[in-house]
Amino acid sequence: MENLESLYEQLTEKEKQQFSETVNLLLGKTYLVYEREEDRPHYRFVEKHFDLFTTYLEMARWSLHMQKQYSVIQLYNMDERNRRNFNLQETIFLIILRLLYDEKRRDLRLIQQVLVTGQEIQEKYMALQIRRRLPTKEDTQFILKLFSSFSLLDLKKGHWREPEAVYQLYPSLLLAVNPGDLETLVEWLQEESEQEELIEWEEEENEEEEKEEE
């Protein structure tokens, strides 16, 4: 394999600029999805210059993987640094989207898009029997936009907040949630939700007692 300097100097000035843009994009979003139109030029560029990207990123302890079966490029830190820790609500949505992706994909041909509605996301939320209030429209919009920034989904029709909205889900969801951990995560979410509900109930009871004492 050629060294980093040699690989880099083979690029044109325009390609060097694209290299810089693509590296920063990867560091910011973790995934590049060929199916996603916005990602496709960067995906192709990484595919063409894979040795250059791999060599450069390994110097900073980043590992780059070409998941050809999903047409997804994945980046992660070898020392598990710079990770985005999702809160409980965000984790619930991530699990729901992964479950919906699996269900939809079984009924579709390989070339078809995986589409879900806001209503289906809400229904799956309730079907999991998570003892937690449904998120507000504002929370839903924030979380789905957050996942879009990681190339996990895109809004295709309607407004982020509305049940009628249509979203395209991407195969990067398969990498974001390990299938072996899916059932365990669902059970964990339910336990966390029950514990959170218990804490809220105890706080409300304490507030009532304080009011009665006054």
Which H helix or E strand runs over 31? strand 31-33
CA torsion, ordered 173, 94, 111, 162, to nearest 10 deg: -150
Split at pLDDT 50, 70, 90, the class of 213 is low
| b/e burial code for range 93-115 (CB count within 10 A of at least 16 → b) | bbbbbbbbbbebbeeeeeeeebb
Q: How confident is the model at residue 20 (pLDDT cuts 50, 70, 90)?
A: very high
Is residue 159 over pLDDT 50? yes
pLDDT in tens, 64-99: 999 999 999 999 998 877 777 788 888 889 989 999
* pLDDT, tens digit, 9 for 90 and up, residues 46-63: 999 999 999 999 999 999
Question: Against a cut of 0.75, is the pTM above it?
Answer: yes
Please write the tens of the pLDDT for every residue from 168-188.
999 999 998 876 666 676 676
